[in-house]
Amino acid sequence: MNPLRPEMPLLFAELPDVFASRFDPEAPWTLLGDALDEVLAGLPSSDIQTGLSPDVHLAGDRIVIGRGTRIHPSVVIEGPVFIGQDVEIRPGAFIRGGCWIGDRCIVGANTELKRALLLPHAKAPHLNYVGDSILGADVNLGAGTILSNFRHDGGRIHIPADDSRLDTGRRKLGAILGDGVLTGCNCVLHPGTVVGQGTQIYPGVHLRPGIYPAKSIVKLRQELEIVERE
């Protein structure tokens, strides 16, 4: 362990073979860099093993879609992209900028994915934005959850950890969510958020950049004032 790097929580029990040898547990976001580019560059120009509605729009090169995957009308998919088997992509979804979507994932209606890695069974099912992010196996994003990936000042993403700030070297980085992480409705995870596996995040939480432990509950406390109407 590099003493200058904070310890990362447990994130993934297993990674697909194409990513396993490229994974740095001290800097998990590196999978979104050269590793993802190399995997996508190795895809065939077109390998579509499921029927598509004429209302599904495909653009670009290197598009792979596995058997049993259901893609609803009005979906837009830009290559390069890998979509595994038995995936469901619901109406109005927009997949762009280089994505890898594992088997049995769900991409919901009007959800946008941009340079994202979804491990098997991950779900972004309802009005989500997933930018420059990794969703571990069995992650479920509540409706309206946003994984923000860009600072307003355009600066590089740093992750606070104890008394240090870890420079990721990236100008765009959303969230790294370990296996089984659950978010409630309308959560916003700010750029540079790492959450250990099995953690639950309450609805409406704005999670600041940082490293959050595995198997925890992140609660939102708010005070309501109810007054009599005149």
Split into its structural domains, the chain has a count of 1
Contact (CB, 8 A) for 92 and 70: no
Q: Is residue 6 part of a domain?
A: no
Q: How many CB atoms lie within 10 A of CB 190?
A: 18
User: pLDDT tens digit string along 20-65?
Assistant: 999 999 999 999 999 999 999 999 999 999 999 999 999 999 999 9
pLDDT at 7: 79
Q: Is residue 3 part of a domain?
A: no
Contact (CB, 8 A) for 124 and 118: yes
Is pLDDT at 5 greater than 60 in this prediction? no
If pLDDT is split at 50, 70 and 90, which confidence band does 153 have? Answer: confident
Mean pLDDT, the chain, integer = 94
The radius of gyration of the chain's CA atoms, rounded to the nearest angstrom, is 18
Polymer length in residues for the chain:
230
What is the set of active-site residues? 126
**Is 19 in a helix, a strand, or coil?**
helix
- Here the tokens at position 223 are 């005070």
If pLDDT is split at 50, 70 and 90, which confidence band does 161 have? Answer: confident
Angle made by CA atoms 124, 127, 128, in degrees to the nearest 5: 50
Summarize the confidence of residues 144-151 as an average pLDDT.
Answer: 96
User: pLDDT tens digit string along 180-230?
Assistant: 999 999 999 999 999 999 999 999 999 999 999 999 999 998 888 999 998
Q: How many CB atoms lie within 10 A of CB 156?
A: 15
- Here the tokens at position 101 are 């979507």
If pLDDT is split at 50, 70 and 90, which confidence band does 162 have? Answer: confident
- Here the tokens at position 227 are 């007054």
Is pLDDT at 165 greater than 90 in this prediction? no
- pTM value is 0.94
Distance from C-alpha of 87 to C-alpha of 55, rounded to nearest angstrom: 18
pLDDT at 80: 97
Domain that holds residue 119: 17-218
Q: Is residue 205 part of a domain?
A: yes
pLDDT at 6: 63
- Here the tokens at position 184 are 């409630």
Q: Is residue 8 part of a domain?
A: no
Residue 52, φ and ψ in degrees, nearest 5: -120, 140
pLDDT exceeding 70 applies to what percent of the chain?
Answer: 97
If pLDDT is split at 50, 70 and 90, which confidence band does 163 have? Answer: confident
Summarize the confidence of residues 134-145 as an average pLDDT.
Answer: 98
Q: Is residue 10 part of a domain?
A: no
Q: Is residue 9 part of a domain?
A: no
What is the CATH classification number for the domain harbouring 177? 2.160.10.10
If pLDDT is split at 50, 70 and 90, which confidence band does 2 have? Answer: very low
